Chains A and B, each alone.
Chain A
Amino acid sequence: MNNRTVEIGVGLFVALGIAALFMLAMQASNLSTMSGGDGYIITAGFENVGGLKERSAVTVSGVRVGRVESIDYDHTSFEAVVSLRIDAQHDSFPVDTSASIYTSGLLGEQYVALEPGGALENLVAGDRLQLTQSALVMEQVIGQFLYSTAAGKSEQ
C-alpha cells in the first residue's frame, strides 16, 4: 500500500469525522440558538406550573427571548417560583409585564409567554413579575365545564 494513499485516506477520514461533529453541533443542536448563559434572570410566581420544565421556552409574541432557568417552590407564598433567563438583547420589558403558561399545540410542550404592559420603567435583573396566569390543568377545565353544564340543566 502506497504511503501517500494511506495518509490521504486517514486525512479524509479525520476531516470527515470532524465535519460530522461540527454539523451535529451547529445544525442539529441548540448551539446556534443557545444564549450561552448570559442574559439576566427575572422570576415569576405561579399557582400551578403544570408541565413546565427547565429549559422550556420563554416567548414574547411567539418569539423566543429566553429559557426557564429553574423551578422552585416558595414556602412562604405557597406558590411555584419560576426563574426566567432572558437573553441580554431583550432588555426593555416594562415592569408590569405579565407572564402566562401556555401549551403549544394540543399536546405540545408548555412554555412561558410574556406580555409587555404599559409602564415606563423597565424590568431589571432579579425583578419579580406580579401578574401571572397559571397553566391550564385539564381536570379543572373539564370539572368546570361539567359543573356549568349541570348548573345550566338544573335551571331549565
Chain B
Amino acid sequence: MLDALQHLGRATLDFFERLGRGHLLLLQMLAKLPGLLLRPGLVLVQLYSVGVLTLVIILVSGMFVGMVLGLQGYNTLVDFGAEDSLGVVVALSLVRELGPVVSALLFAGRAGSALTAEIGLMKATEQLSGMEMMAVDPVQRVIAPRFLAAFLSMPLLAAIFSAVGIYGGYLVGVPLLGVDDGAFWGQMQGAVDLHDDIYNGVIKSIVFGFVAGWIALFEGYDATPTAAGVSRATTRTVVHTALAVLGLDFVLTALMFGD
C-alpha cells in the first residue's frame, strides 16, 4: 500500500521535475538566441540538416496528399454537382490544417528524432560535459542553433507542403478529372482569405516548429546517457511531438476558427 503511494509520489515528482527542466532549458535557449547573431554559420549548418534535408519528404508527401485530396474531394463533390469547388476544398484543407499538421508530424519523424539522437549521443559520449570543461556553453554552441533552425524551417516547410499540395490537387483535378481550370483557381481565390486562412496557417506552423524543436532538444539533452536511454528519448520525441502538435492544433483551430 505504502509502496504504491510512494511510486505514485515518485512518478508525480519525476513528471514535475522533467517539466521544470524542460522549461529551464527553454529559457536558456531563448536567452542564448541573441548570441547566435554573432555566429550565423552555426545556424546555417543546422538549417541545412534540419530544413534542407527534410525538404524531399515534404515535397513528395505534399504532392501525394494534394493528389489524394483532389481525388477524394472530386468523388464527393461530383455527387452534388459541385466539383468546381474542388480548388476550395483542396486549398482550405491544406492551408488551414494538413499543411501545418502533416509537415510538423513529418518534421518530428525526420528532423526531431535526428536532433534527439544527436544530442543524446553527444551527452552519452560526454561531449557536452567536455565542452563545459573547456568553458564552452553547450546550450549556446549546440542546442540554441538547432532550436532556431527548427523554429525557422517549420513555417517554410509547411508553406512548401501546402503550395505543392495545391498543385497536386490541381494536377489530379484539372487535367485528369476535367474540372474547369478557371473555376478551380477562381473559386479558390474567392474562398481562401489571406488573413483568416493563410496567416493563421503560418502561425500554426510557427507554433508547431517551436514545440517540435523544444521537445526534440529537451529529450536529447535530458536523455539517460546510455544506448537504451537515447533510444527511449528518440521514441519519446516522436510520440510527444505528435501528441503536442495534434493537441495544440485543436486548441489553435478553436481559437482561430471557433467563432
Contacts and interface: CB of A to CB of B under 8 A. Distances in A.
Contacts of B185: 27
B168 to A, nearest CB: 13
A56 to B, nearest CB: 10
Contacts of B193: 29-30, 55
Contact of B166 (A10, A14, A28): A28
Interface stretch (B1-9, B130-138, B153-161, B221-229): B153-161
Contact of A10 (B51, B159, B194): B51
Nearest to B84: A105
Contact-size category for A: 20 to 34
A125 interface: no
Interface in B44-66: 44-45, 47-48, 51-52, 55
A6 B164 contact: no
B80 A29 contact: no
B52 A24 contact: no
Interface string B127-146: 00000000000000000000
Given A20-B163, A23-B163, A107-B80, A30 B194 contact: yes
Nearest to B45: A6
A12 to B, nearest CB: 7
A59 to B, nearest CB: 12
Contacts of A28: 91, 95, 163, 166, 188-189, 192, 198
Contact of B159 (A9, A20, A27, A30): A20
Interface in B151-179: 153, 155-157, 159-160, 162-164, 166
B166 A6 contact: no
Contact of A13 (B55, B162, B164, B166): B55
Contacts of B44: 6-7, 10
Contacts of A32: 189
Contacts of A107: 80, 82
A19 B95 CA distance: 15
Contacts, number: 85
Contacts of B249: none
B247 to A, nearest CB: 25
B48 A24 contact: no
B133 to A, nearest CB: 27
A17 B52 contact: no
A31 interface: yes
A24 B198 contact: yes
B197 interface: yes
Contacts of A21: 155-156, 159, 163, 202
A76 interface: no
Interface string A40-82: 0000000000000001010000000000000000000000000
B190 interface: yes
Interface in B76-114: 80, 82, 91, 95
A30 B48 contact: no
Interface of A: 1, 6-7, 9-10, 12-14, 16-21, 23-25, 27-34, 55, 57, 105, 107
Q: Which 5 A-B pairs have the closest CB atoms?
A: A17-B156, A20-B163, A20-B159, A9-B52, A29-B194
Given A9-B52, A20-B159, 16 more contacts: A1-B45, A9-B48, A12-B52, A13-B153, A13-B156, A14-B156, A16-B156, A20-B156, A21-B159, A21-B163, A24-B159, A24-B198, A27-B189, A29-B192, A30-B189, A107-B80
11 contacts: A7-B44, A9-B52, A10-B48, A13-B51, A13-B156, A24-B166, A24-B198, A25-B198, A31-B194, A57-B190, A105-B82
